[in-house]
Every structure is written in C-alpha cells, then in structure tokens.
C-alpha cells in the first residue's frame, strides 16, 4: 500500500493538500497512511476477519504485505473494490505529541468537517466508521472509475 500522495489523481491530491493546509491552521496534525491500493492489497484486506489467518497471510504475502497475527485478523474493510484502487481515496492518522492517535475522535471530527467543506466524502459518516478515510470521485460511479474515468476538480 502506498503512502505516496503523487499516486492520487490530481483532483484528489489537490484536495489533500488543501486539507493539510487548513488542518494546520486549526492545529490539527496528521500523516497520510494510505493512498493507492492494488487489487491484490484490497483483496487481502477484505479477507481479514472473513478467512483464517493462514489464508489472510497467504493473500497478504501475494500482495507484498506483512503478515498479521490471529489477534489482528479482524474486519478492516467492507469493500472488495475500493476507490483507493483508482487513486481517489486516502487515509490519514491524527498525530498527538508526534505519535499516531487513532482514538482522538474530536480531532477526527474536526478534520472530517474540514474535508467535507472541501467536497471530500469523509469515512466518519460511514455506518462502519472509518475516521481517517477521505475520498473524492467527483460524482463518478464505481463502474465509471473501473472504466478508466477519473474526477477533475
């Protein structure tokens, strides 16, 4: 899985850079933890919590991902096909005292509000909350993304 913001389509990368600038103005610090995912990476993540740890680790190895333990074998995504696969999504982690803080819900809520003001779809609104997830498809459907279309600003 990539952390390279240049792997994002230009419209999404631009929104990420605006999110970073606006978050900084509100003293919210974060790092980008995921951008583009390959199909193999997404399928390996989808298998987590649904298959045995041995099967998950076989898929993770094929995708170039590190193995996980039995205790880590839990659901991490509900989607077999993700907009991450098309460079239209990124995940972030809020930093607190220089360390990732996955529990700082108020900071994620503030960051989510900023993202939404920029036209990003925020994972904090999903039924399966994904606090650090942001995406932008410009109104394109998954089928259109699969056909090669990409959003513009």
What's the pLDDT score for residue 124?
96
- Show the domains of the chain with their CATH numbers: 5-37+82-146 (3.30.1380.10)
CA distance 147 to 135: 18
| CA angle 86–8–132, rounded 5-degree value | 90
What's the pLDDT score for residue 2?
86
What's the pLDDT score for residue 52?
97
What's the pLDDT score for residue 96?
94
Provide block-wise average pLDDT over 10 residues at a time, the chain (153 residues).
92 98 97 95 96 97 96 92 96 95 94 98 94 97 96 89
In three-state form (DSSP H/G/I as H, E/B as E, the rest C), the secondary structure along 65-125 is CCCCCHHHCCCCCCCCCCHHHHCCEEEEEEEECCEECCCCHHHHHHHHHHHHHCCCEEHHH
């Amino acid at each position: 899985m990539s952390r390279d913001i240049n792997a994002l389509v230009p419209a999404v990368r631009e929104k990420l850079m605006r999110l970073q600038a606006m978050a900084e103005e509100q003293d919210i610090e974060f790092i980008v933890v995921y951008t583009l995912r390959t199909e193999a990476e997404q399928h390996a993540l989808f298998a987590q919590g649904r298959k045995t740890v041995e099967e998950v680790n076989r898929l993770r190895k094929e995708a170039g991902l590190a193995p996980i333990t039995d205790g880590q074998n839990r659901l991490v995504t509900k989607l077999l096909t993700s907009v991450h696969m098309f460079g239209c999504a990124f995940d972030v982690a809020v930093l607190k005292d220089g360390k990732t803080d996955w529990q700082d819900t108020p900071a994620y809520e503030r960051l989510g509000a900023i993202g939404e003001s920029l036209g990003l779809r925020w994972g904090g609104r999903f039924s399966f909350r994904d606090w650090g997830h942001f995406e932008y498809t410009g109104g394109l459907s998954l089928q259109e993304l699969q056909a090669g279309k990409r959003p513009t600003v």
